[in-house]
Structure 1
C-alpha cells in the first residue's frame, strides 16, 4: 500500500476554523472520498489550533502518484486551503509497511464530536 500526507498549519488560521473543517469533512469531503477508485482509505486528522491533515492510503503507487500530482497543482485553491486561509505546508508520499485491524474492527464514517 502507498500513502500520501497533506498537512496544513492552523497557527495563523481564523478563529473557529477547527469547527468549520470538521463540518466540511463530515458534510462534503467524507462523501467525496468514499468509494474513490484506487483509494483504500483516507483519514482526516487534526490537532486543534496546530495542524489539519489528510492521510490517504492507495492500493498502488500509480494511483497515489497520480492523485498527488493532481492535488499538488490545485492544493492552494482546495476547499481546505480556502477554509484555513493558506496552502498546505507539507505534501509527502510514503510506503505503508502494514495495517492491523484491531479487535474492535474497522469503522468508516465521521469521528467524535468536538469536546466542549
Structure 2
C-alpha cells in the first residue's frame, strides 16, 4: 500500500478554524472520498491550533502518485486551504509497511465532535 500525507499549519489560521474544518470534513469531504477508486482509506487528523492533515492510503503507487500530482496543482485553492488561509506546508508520499485491524474492528465515519 502507498500513502500520502498532506499537512497544513494552523499556527496563523483564523479563530474557529478547528470547528470549521471538522464541519467541512463531516459534511462534505467524507462523502467525497468514500468509495474513491484506488483509495484504500483516508484519515483526517488534527492537533487543534497546531496542524491539520489528510492521510491517504492507496492500493497502488500509480494511484497515489496520480492523486498527489493532481492535488498539488490545486492545493493552494482547495477547501481546506481556503478555510485555513494558507496552502499545505507538506505533501509527502510514503510506503505503508503494514496495517493491523484491532479487536474493536475498523470503523469508518466521523470521529468525535
- Is residue 48 of structure 2 the alignment partner of residue 48 of structure 1? yes
Matches within 5 A, 1:1-116: 1-113=1-113
| Whole-angstrom distance in 1 between the partners of 2:111 and 2:35 | 18
SS at match of 2:40: strand
Q: Deviations over 1:44-85 (max 9, x none)?
A: 000000000000000000000000000001000000000000
SS at match of 2:69: helix
Over the residues paired in the alignment, what is the CA RMSD in angstroms?
Answer: 0.2
Normalised TM-score (structure 2): 1.00
Deviation at 1:91, TM superposition (A): 0.1
SS at match of 1:22: helix
SS at match of 1:97: coil
